[in-house]
Structure 1
Amino acid sequence: MVKESLTVLKVTGLEKSFELRKILDNVHFDIKMGERIGLVGYNGTGKTTLANLIMGRLKPDSGTVEYIKECKIGYLTQSIDYEFTNFVEAIVDKKDLLEHTSQLGLEKVYDWEEHRLQHLSGGEKLKLALSLIWSSKPDFLILDEPTNHLDFKGIKWLISELKKFPGPILIISHDRYFLDETINRIFEIENKKLHFYNANYSEFRKEKQKRTEDQLHKYTVQKKKQEEIEGQMEQLKSWSDKAHQNSTKQGRDFGTKEYHRVKAKKRDSQVKSKMKRLQNELNKNKIDKPSEEAVVSFQFEADGKRGKRIIEAKDLTKTYDNRNLFQDAKFYINYGERIGLLGENGCGKTTLLRMVLGQEPPTKGTLWKSQSIKIAYLSQDVHDLQEETTAIDALGFTEREDIFRARTLLANLGLKEELITKPIGTLSLGERTRVKLVDMLMKEYDVLILDEPTNHLDLPSREQLENTLNEFTGTIITVSHDYYFLNKICDKLLVFENHKIKRMEMKPEEYLNKEKSNPNVSIKEELMVIENRLATVLGELSLLDQKHPNYFVLDREFKELIAQKKRLTNQL
């Protein structure tokens, strides 16, 4: 049995640059047996680069990566969607793999035909990749964004497996809930350096804020002291200049001139001494101004109010490749609601989004959508931008005012001039996501359809996006496996379960933690919501004339609510 204190990996003096841009500068760290480390930092700071240096996929410009103990590494790459495109050979004669896929909700993988394996969803690919890594029995895990595309069942499985894993783990992730549940140490890349915190993510944020405030206070005190000394130096220099002027005035005798020359030299000597003392003090105890977190500015504006109900499904059925995704679905979405789509990978969440967008037809039933609404769509795929074009060219704006606004938004999102003038193929996945967000920001819309919007976004950008979405007055329909994001944004759900889609009047946290043993609890909660809505609808109806255009909409909703109430009451 290996002791937890045993050092597995030792990194010394690591440096790496790309095209004269330094990414990592003189980085040192050890990783010991059993450690759980979260590697965090802004997009483009070098997290994936550091992982590839550890793996030996990249060579450092200088420094060493030394494994003290020989170990087998299980490495999950961030771009798993595009590397694991063929699993046909991988699943042959791998009993452990099939056991893990079953635990992750992928049933009878060994029966899947080659066509099915080559047309997997992002979540299914990720689950197969994780199963392959676990079945290889690694000693050391490096996971780059392991929860992207992973459903909540998969996330819980992964958290459970990581807790049992005896070796060291290095996780690159922007999923705050996942980091809080899995790691106890943070490596943060900032300004090309590595900073260390013995904490999970939430504790790290508090500790970093405290460190920043302490550093800012010390920097302010140093700055004030510097200004005092520089003020004294200016005074001495003024006196010195005056002494030099007096020493050269006409009409003075030699003794007086000599007196003023000596006085001027003395002043010069005092100024130089003060300057040297100040420089020594600054060099000895120099405190840099703490880096300010990038202010990520999102600006969403809904294009006015629309009718109450904007989307309605009746007996909606979708089959795909002889698979029944969902059937006889009945639900509605009102203007201004925040709807989260919840369900396991492959249940049809992204397919439903495509149906709302008109990109997929229903197999049976109807999906009605108000013709007056304008929809903005952010897809999971960040590889649909032309890689040879620059960010600004890919957006396709020709008007000078639009180009200027796009450049401003890209800068606000952290893409500075040197990045937006480079080919998109050189940008990280997070940087490409920001380009797609700018494309959304430049439009006016009523409905946001967001498919895994936080994938590849760094943590500050996620938090700013949450704050801004909460100010958006239109409708939000989102698929996300970011537990914190979904809870902060959504107050209603469309739950995909047993080939059905069910509307739930509750937040994700309530649904995921509801009492499974007592189904009557959720029924009573739904009844309470329906009764509250009935009272509101009745109040609105009482104020309207029957000829008013909204009267028919409200009257129809009232009748539907009565029917729902009757159905739920019969279930008690």
Structure 2
Amino acid sequence: MFNKQTSNAVIINVKGLEKSFNLQKILDNIHFEIKNGERIGLVGLNGTGKTTLANLIFGKTLPDKGVIEKPNDIKIGYLTQSIDYEVNDFHEYMSDAAENDLFQHASELGLRKVSDWEDNRLSHLSGGEKLKLALSMVWASKPDLLILDEPTNHLDFTGIEWLTTELEKFHGPVLIISHDRHFLDQTVNRIFELENGKVHFYNGHYSDYRKEKQLRLENQRHQYNVQQRKIEEIDSQMEQLKSWSEKAHRNSTKQEGFKEYHRVKAKKRDSQVKSKMKRLQNEMEKQRIEKPLEEAKVRFEFDHHGKRGKRIIEAKMVTKVFGDRTLFQDSHFYITQGERIGLLGENGCGKTTLIKMILGTEAPSKGEVWKSDSIKIAYLNQDVSDLPIDKSAIEALGYTDRESIFKARTLLANLGLKEGHITKPIGTLSLGERTRVKLVDMLMQNYDVLILDEPTNHLDLPSREQLEKTLSEFTGTIITVSHDSYFLNKLCDRLLVFENQQIKRVEMKPEEFLNKKTKDNINETFLVIENKIAAILGELSIIDQKDPKYQQLDREFNELIKQKKGLIDK
């Protein structure tokens, strides 16, 4: 029977694993172990096989070669990358939720009164709400091992904090596929990097991995350059020996009386050349250092010049209600040209709904969302399933003139989608690769406003970093929903905060606002504790120490002092 309490025991043992798709080898003779209690971050570029490896470990996919040894009775909690679960799946799990703690986990994640939800509510879930329900289902299954594929995509800061805390309490091994740098730094202690079908191993969290990888690359680059200089030196020596050999052969045919001498000399030179070449080739094969693969360089290009400061969007006493559920009411805010606005709030508070109002695809229940008639808006949404799966990337973009097709191909290549990718049906591309196709559609046109709903979801790390850089150079207006802390703090200098059924404009960066909110919460908690301490001291002063209640109050007093000290230390 599987014993989840055995520390450092090998839970998963992968031997000689291979997997190919469409004649392309994705995983090539992979070996590794996962021990109990380990926290592993699985990273790599889009399309390198991370989700494929997760599916193989879970048993959803079978390998072409190799074995995955794991206990027969192990229970794996697998959060898949696509969280578009059917309403029926949620219904089925919620029918016995009282037994499996689903409601409790959902409540902790910020989903209120899930037990009272009707079919209509389940049919209108945001991406974040779907993810929270899926996470609740995974935790409620009481797994022995966790596989989480992009668990922070769509997840608000409350959800990320819950997930981080729960992972600290979880005793089994965890494999996390993620491009969220901050989250990986908080949760993992090893990194597995998939690259060219192989797995490379690093100890530590994500930042440690980046430093060590950079050092490895620099060392490999140095060794490779030394090897190249050695090869040049050897080539020079070989050319010299060949020159001597050719001279000996020429002399053997010219000088009468010395032909035999020079013929023997020529043969000797030939022998020397062949012997040295063979020796050097053998030496080079044994000590060959491959040229290091340069990290992916991704280029995004926007072409826009706009006037800053002009008010282009304004909400006037806007309210939105679905049935008996109010998302926000009587809210007023404005957005001016050139601003970087982050939308901040819990899952299901109405961020995507507001975006739809700005786009004109959703009407407010009351009030008005006004926008300038002259602005041109591009929208990148969370959903990549709206691309035609049977068409190639170029066909899906719909360009027919030669210049546009050439530009689209160039942009796709800059995003890391080479010819082999852009001629394949979109249905064979990973979610990250499909997101890049949608980005190219935005890049091809000149926009005033970019509305980005979770733009970094499914993007690999080089693409995220380059997108941050490019968006910082864009002169138009950016409105974005993102739960990638690094991305949001680097990009946005103002916020629209969804709180207490209101949308409020806040002149702060996300980090400043969240730190202030945390500080305010601590101050509020501190005052509550102070009041409780004062009340207990008042009771203690009027009762006898022999009174049984005195001991109880004393314990409460000491516990409150401990809580107060904890807040002061923060």
State the TM-score, normalizing by the size of structure 2.
0.88
**Is 1:394–2:399 an aligned residue pair?**
no
Q: Which residue of 2 aligns with 1:34?
A: 37
Q: 1:39, 1:172 within 8 Å by CA — same for their partners in 2? A: yes
**Is 1:24–2:27 an aligned residue pair?**
yes
- Give 1:331's aligned amino acid: F
| 1:363 alignment partner, one of 362, 365, 370 | 365
Q: Which residue of 2 aligns with 1:155?
A: 160
Q: Which residue of 2 aligns with 1:12?
A: 15
**Is 1:44–2:47 an aligned residue pair?**
yes
**Is 1:248–2:250 an aligned residue pair?**
no
- Give 2:108's aligned amino acid: Q
Q: Which residue of 1 aligns with 2:436?
A: 434
| 1:315 alignment partner, one of 314, 317, 324 | 317
Q: Which residue of 2 aligns with 1:457?
A: 459
**Is 1:87–2:90 an aligned residue pair?**
yes
Q: Which residue of 1 aligns with 2:222?
A: 217
- Give 1:165's aligned amino acid: F
Distance in 2 separating the partners of 1:244 and 1:69: 73
Instruction: Describe how 1:49-198 pairs up with structure 2 within 5 A.
Output: 49-67=52-70, 70-82=73-85, 86-95=89-98, 96-198=101-203
CA separation of 1:85 and 1:310: change in aligned 2, threshold 3 A: farther
| 2:5 alignment partner, one of 2, 7, 17 | 2
Q: CA deviation at 1:343?
A: 0.5
- Give 1:289's aligned amino acid: K
Between stretches 80-89 and 100-109, larger displacement belongs to 80-89
Between stretches 34-43 and 284-293, larger displacement belongs to 284-293
Q: 2:39, 2:189 within 8 Å by CA — same for their partners in 1? A: yes
* Matched residue SS, 2:452: strand
CA separation of 1:407 and 1:84: change in aligned 2, threshold 3 A: farther
Distance in 1 separating the partners of 2:361 and 2:517: 38
Q: CA deviation at 1:83?
A: 5.8
Distance in 1 separating the partners of 2:456 and 2:104: 30
Q: Which residue of 2 aligns with 1:543?
A: none
CA separation of 1:195 and 1:263: change in aligned 2, threshold 3 A: same
Q: What do the CA deviations read for 1:358-379 (whole angstroms, capped 9, x no partner)?
A: 1111211111111111111111
Distance in 2 separating the partners of 1:495 and 1:442: 31
Q: What do the CA deviations read for 1:435-477 (whole angstroms, capped 9, x no partner)?
A: 0000011010111100000000001110111011111111110
Instruction: Describe how 1:372-411 pairs up with structure 2 within 5 A.
Output: 372-411=374-413
Q: CA deviation at 1:172?
A: 0.2
Q: What do the CA deviations read for 1:135-173 (whole angstroms, capped 9, x no partner)?
A: 110000000001111111011000000000000000000
Q: 2:305, 2:475 within 8 Å by CA — same for their partners in 1? A: no
CA separation of 1:275 and 1:520: change in aligned 2, threshold 3 A: closer
Distance in 2 separating the partners of 1:264 and 1:142: 68
CA separation of 1:269 and 1:80: change in aligned 2, threshold 3 A: same
Distance in 2 separating the partners of 1:45 and 1:196: 15
Q: 1:306, 1:373 within 8 Å by CA — same for their partners in 2? A: no
Q: 2:13, 2:32 within 8 Å by CA — same for their partners in 1? A: yes
Q: 1:515, 1:521 within 8 Å by CA — same for their partners in 2? A: no
Distance in 2 separating the partners of 1:57 and 1:259: 75
* Matched residue SS, 2:349: coil
| 1:265 alignment partner, one of 258, 264, 267 | 267
Distance in 2 separating the partners of 1:189 and 1:517: 40
Q: CA deviation at 1:517?
A: 5.8
Q: 2:496, 2:506 within 8 Å by CA — same for their partners in 1? A: yes
| 2:231 alignment partner, one of 222, 226, 229 | 226
Q: CA deviation at 1:245?
A: 2.5
Q: Which residue of 2 aligns with 1:549?
A: none
Q: What do the CA deviations read for 1:81-116 (whole angstroms, capped 9, x no partner)?
A: 256764112101212000001111111111111222
Q: CA deviation at 1:202?
A: 1.1
Q: What do the CA deviations read for 1:29-85 (whole angstroms, capped 9, x no partner)?
A: 000010000000000001001111111222212111001574210001101125676
Distance in 2 separating the partners of 1:271 and 1:470: 59
State the TM-score, normalizing by the size of structure 1.
0.88
Instruction: Describe how 1:489-528 pairs up with structure 2 within 5 A.
Output: 489-516=491-518, 518=520
Q: 1:126, 1:150 within 8 Å by CA — same for their partners in 2? A: yes
**Is 1:351–2:368 an aligned residue pair?**
no
CA separation of 1:304 and 1:336: change in aligned 2, threshold 3 A: closer
- Give 1:234's aligned amino acid: E
Distance in 2 separating the partners of 1:7 and 1:316: 57
Q: CA RMSD in A?
A: 1.7
Distance in 2 separating the partners of 1:294 and 1:438: 17
* Matched residue SS, 1:229: helix
* Matched residue SS, 2:432: helix
Q: What do the CA deviations read for 1:255-304 (whole angstroms, capped 9, x no partner)?
A: 42222221111111111122112211211111111110111000112243
CA separation of 1:48 and 1:520: change in aligned 2, threshold 3 A: closer
Distance in 1 separating the partners of 2:318 and 2:281: 75
Between stretches 77-86 and 407-416, larger displacement belongs to 77-86
Unpaired runs of at least 5, structure 2: 525-570
CA separation of 1:199 and 1:84: change in aligned 2, threshold 3 A: farther
Q: CA deviation at 1:514?
A: 1.0
Distance in 2 separating the partners of 1:21 and 1:517: 53
Q: CA deviation at 1:482?
A: 0.7
CA separation of 1:345 and 1:372: change in aligned 2, threshold 3 A: same
Unpaired runs of at least 5, structure 1: 523-572
* Matched residue SS, 1:457: coil
Q: 1:14, 1:64 within 8 Å by CA — same for their partners in 2? A: yes
Q: 2:87, 2:122 within 8 Å by CA — same for their partners in 1? A: no
Between stretches 105-114 and 303-312, larger displacement belongs to 303-312
State, as a whole percentage, how many aligned pairs show the same letter. Answer: 71
Distance in 2 separating the partners of 1:60 and 1:187: 19
Q: 1:92, 1:110 within 8 Å by CA — same for their partners in 2? A: no
Distance in 2 separating the partners of 1:423 and 1:266: 61
Q: 2:191, 2:206 within 8 Å by CA — same for their partners in 1? A: yes
CA separation of 1:445 and 1:350: change in aligned 2, threshold 3 A: same
Query: May I ask how many residue pairs the two structures share in their alignment?
Result: 519
Q: CA deviation at 1:3?
A: 3.3
